[in-house]
Amino acid sequence: MRIGCPTEIKAQEFRVGITPNAAREAVSHGHEVLIQSGAGLGAGFPDEDYADAGASIVATADEIFERAEMVVKVKEPQAAERAMLREGQLLFTYLHLAPDPAQTDDLLKSGATCIAYETVTDARGGLPLLAPMSEVAGRLAPQMGAWTLQKANGGRGVLMGGIPGVTPASVVVIGGGVVGTHAARIAAGMGADVTVLDKSLPRLRQLDELFSRDMNTRYASGGNIAEAVAEADMVIGAVLIPGAAAPKLVTRDMLSTMKPGAVLVDVAIDQGGCFETSKATTHQDPIFEVDGILHYCVANMPGAVARSSTIGLGNATMPFMLALADKGWKQACRDDAHLAQGLNVHAGQITNAPVAEALGRDHVALDTVLA
């Protein structure tokens, strides 16, 4: 198979979809790999690294999309990229379609087959291609929130760990999954007073056993969320419903109960955000204010640490990429029901039920597509 990897064009996105190691593996499997010149520079991988791995360097994204049978990316294709997709082509990347009807319409019109990293599952019910970036985003969230809390940035001017005689910042994490766990761990490590809210009592018990000395846990009822948010210096939204739009757990009315200059960090912004007042921002212009509350809603947070993120993502995606190339997408999905869950769009139809439900669209069953 001819596999192509273009340079990411989303604002301030420095990651790359294929690492030199992944390129070398694909070539060793007998595949041809095309890398757009400069695609890896933001992650510290020059063209020479790819050439040494056996990949071919091409000048433009146009050539990648024209020649490749499978296009491997990081972020959802932008409008210019979607216009280059063609019928029968395979796209393997993050999509996050639930809050993005415009992208969905373009992918449907293209006739391409689109497999989304974020809905591929594993035998334990996890999301193996989302997990590494969730780990990165979770660890970054308190760091970015602490920066936003600084007075020069409009925040309350509260130090995360406090000092002797001065209380630390109060950090509330909504969601105890991968993002929430890593966010809570880092916030606690910075010395903050951390509370994690989740609706799963078994998960809260796990977190209590792991971190009982470092953080508090509360059940995520509406009343408990409202009370915790009102007391917080920083709230980290870390809620995920696979494939679906994130629920709005912090309403605009709740902002009036918060401390002026408090910070909301919405890690769920790729799925529409879990704060009612959230809107996607960029690394270049990351924060905005609503009713005196600062919002940090960068949609590609892991792009800030592009090398670490690229390597982590590449480790996770490589086996699936190779399966798709070795077998073709249909046979690979037949052989691996977890990979098949990643199929979101095929030949003008939505194939993922939660995505279709979030968008209010019809979908075709996976079994029908794979028959």
The CATH number of residue 186's host domain is 3.40.50.720
Handedness of CA 38, 41, 43, 45 (dihedral sign): positive
Is 232 in the same domain as 270?
yes
Q: What is the pLDDT of residue 241?
A: 85
pLDDT digits (tens, 9 = 90+) for 332-371: 999 999 999 999 999 999 999 999 999 999 999 999 999 9
In a domain, 106, yes or no: yes
Residue 245, pLDDT above cutoff 90: no
The annotation status of 269 as a binding-site residue, yes or no, is yes
Is 108 in the same domain as 166?
no
What is the pLDDT averaged over residues 176-181?
Answer: 96
Q: Among residues 299, 321, 349, which one ends one of the domains?
A: 299
What is the pLDDT averaged over residues 37-61?
Answer: 98
The annotation status of 270 as a binding-site residue, yes or no, is yes
Is 186 in the same domain as 273?
yes
Is 86 in the same domain as 146?
no
Q: Among residues 277, 299, 321, which one ends one of the domains?
A: 299
Residue 244, pLDDT above cutoff 90: no
Is 220 in the same domain as 324?
no
Is 150 in the same domain as 275?
yes
Is 261 in the same domain as 239?
yes
Catalytic annotation, pick one of 270, 295, 336, 346? 270
Query: Residue 82: which domain range?
Result: 2-119+306-370
Residue 262, pLDDT above cutoff 90: yes
Amino acid letter for position 97 = L
The annotation status of 73 as a binding-site residue, yes or no, is no
Confidence of residue 41 (pLDDT cuts 50, 70, 90): very high
Is 59 in the same domain as 159?
no
What is the pLDDT averaged over residues 220-249?
Answer: 94
The annotation status of 298 as a binding-site residue, yes or no, is yes
Q: Among residues 299, 323, 345, which one ends one of the domains?
A: 299
Residue-wise DSSP of 247-275: P--B-HHHHTTSPTT-EEEEGGGGGT-SB
Residues 150, 157 contacting (CB under 8 angstroms): yes
pTM confidence score: 0.90
Distance (Å, rounded) from C-alpha 132 to C-alpha 302? 10
What is the pLDDT averaged over residues 302-315?
Answer: 96
In a domain, 124, yes or no: no
In a domain, 126, yes or no: no
Beta-strand pair 349-350/343-346: antiparallel
270 included as an active-site residue: yes
The annotation status of 75 as a binding-site residue, yes or no, is yes
Is 163 in the same domain as 289?
yes
Q: What is the pLDDT of residue 242?
A: 83
In a domain, 277, yes or no: yes
Is 354 in the same domain as 289?
no
Residue 174, pLDDT above cutoff 90: yes
pLDDT > 90 fraction of the chain, expressed in percent and rounded: 95
Q: What is the pLDDT of residue 243?
A: 79
Is 99 in the same domain as 218?
no
Q: What is the pLDDT of residue 336?
A: 98
Closest alpha carbon to 173 in 127, 141, 126, 211: 141
Beta-strand pair 263-266/234-237: parallel
Give, rounded to a whole angstrom, the gap between the first and last alpha carbons of the chain: 22
In degrees and rounded to multiples of 5, residue 173 shows phi and psi of -115, 120
Q: What is the pLDDT of residue 358?
A: 92
The annotation status of 130 as a binding-site residue, yes or no, is no
State the average pLDDT for the chain: 97
Catalytic annotation, pick one of 96, 182, 295, 363? 96
In a domain, 317, yes or no: yes
Number of domains in the chain: 2
pLDDT digits (tens, 9 = 90+) for 52-79: 999 999 999 999 999 999 999 999 999 9
Residue 212, pLDDT above cutoff 90: no
In a domain, 112, yes or no: yes
Residue 44, pLDDT above cutoff 90: yes
Q: What is the pLDDT of residue 293?
A: 98
Is 320 in the same domain as 257?
no
Q: What is the pLDDT of residue 186?
A: 97
Beta-strand pair 56-58/70-72: unpaired
The annotation status of 299 as a binding-site residue, yes or no, is yes
Residue 11, pLDDT above cutoff 90: no
In a domain, 85, yes or no: yes
Closest alpha carbon to 361 in 246, 243, 267, 266: 243
Distance (Å, rounded) from C-alpha 235 to C-alpha 253? 15
Q: What is the pLDDT of residue 213?
A: 82
In a domain, 125, yes or no: no
